[in-house]
Chains A and B, each alone.
Chain A
């Protein structure tokens, strides 16, 4: 049973560019949350998607946007990249009706140069 799958694993982008990160949730999960983890810090909540809608949002600018597809997979888009956007981006899936918590993927390491 595959867990949470994220792609790509590593990415290097130039300041000002746009990036799209992808996440496939664990089988049986229908909710996807995204977190940003800067080096040496704990993960910070970006937003959560359920039924293809954004349900919760953390304190991130509008440059960060997302999407959820009918198969529950999700994308995180970041526009006008800044050097400070360099981080590990984690996807976590869960079951909206369940109470079994989150399963995290291994993340996408984004470096902005």
Chain B
């Protein structure tokens, strides 16, 4: 099945640094979502984006819905140890019960 392309695949940063990651698709989505998955757990929704060009924040997290509707970006400011995990983007043709198409994931590690 289709998977969206996420980059970078992994990141090693120091606590306090800012983080940027992105997600691209060959097809258009009308809703973009960002999830975080901790080991042994299911994905947890961080941010949902519903409109091309939209910029949305949730605490230290900021995400943008690309203007072409084929990409999205996630930034994390002033990283802390609990930010460690795998971040997934997901696209939906419409918000609600439409299936999610997930990205390949970005693994974030914080170096002591």
A70 close to B (CB within 8 Å)? no
B100 close to A (CB within 8 Å)? yes
Supposing A41-B104, A50-B97 touch, asked if A101 and B33 sit within 8 A by C-beta, the answer is yes
> Which chain A positions have C-beta within 8 A of B40?
106
Supposing A90-B42, A101-B45, A104-B44 touch, asked if A45 and B96 sit within 8 A by C-beta, the answer is no
> Which chain A positions have C-beta within 8 A of B101?
45
> Which chain B positions have C-beta within 8 A of A42?
3-4, 88, 90, 102-105
Q: Which of A51-107 contact B (CB under 8 A)?
A: 55-56, 58-59, 90, 92, 94, 96, 98-99, 101-102, 104-107
> Which chain A positions have C-beta within 8 A of B41?
106-107
Question: How many B residues touch the partner, as a band?
Answer: 20 to 34
Assembly CA distance A43 to B3 (angstroms): 9
B8 close to A (CB within 8 Å)? no
* Chain A: CB-nearest residue to B105: A42
> Which chain A positions have C-beta within 8 A of B63?
none
On whether the beta carbons of B105 and A41 are closer than 8 Å, the reply is: yes
- A45, A59, A96: the one within 8 Å of B100 (CB): A45
Assembly CA distance A98 to B104 (angstroms): 28
Assembly CA distance A59 to B45 (angstroms): 24
Assembly CA distance A96 to B90 (angstroms): 19
Residues of B within 8 A of A (CB): 1, 3-4, 33, 40-45, 48, 88, 90, 95-105
Can you identify 9 A-B contacts, CB atoms within 8 angstroms? A4-B42, A41-B104, A42-B3, A42-B88, A42-B104, A44-B3, A56-B98, A106-B40, A107-B41
What 10 pairs between A and B have smallest CB-CB spacing?
A104-B42, A42-B102, A45-B99, A59-B1, A44-B1, A43-B102, A104-B43, A90-B42, A99-B96, A106-B41
